[in-house]
Amino acid sequence: MKYVYSVLVLLLALFLAAFIQQNGMGIQLNYFYWSTPHLPLSLYIILSFAVGYALAVLVGFSSGIRFRLRASGAEKEVRQLRSEIQQLKKAEAESASSEPQTDPGGSMEASSTDGEGAGIGDDPKPDGETVITGSGDVEEK
């Protein structure tokens, strides 16, 4: 790859040398009241390419800076969200370890608000059927 790059630079130098040789006549550029000194046409053309290249590099550099700023902001947000996830996992683990355990017999009754002592899974109204209508209202039949 190093040799390919060297050959390309050599070809570009030969092209520029031939271009300068062919376009060596002196000219003066005028723009309203501003005028340049008499310089070879090839020099003005090469300078215009160089200025254009420099402007393109500056625009690309500013785009790169904007991209890096956005990327660093996104990385900061990712770190913050990961720390929140870890805190939530710790809180979940602590709450799971502090929940009451079942008694050795394995039977644990749920307490009812009306004091009847209904067990888990008991239907409080075995004869009634609950229907949710399309408007979100709850009807009991």
Average pLDDT over the chain reads 78
Verdict on whether the full-model pTM lies above 0.85: no
Looking at residue 112, what is its pLDDT? 47
By three-state DSSP, how is residue 31 classified?
Answer: strand
* Number of separate helices (H) and strands (E) present in the chain: 2, 6
Quickly state the pLDDT bin for 132 (edges 50, 70, 90): low
- In 3-state terms, the chain is what percent helix, strand and coil (to 5)? 55, 10, 35
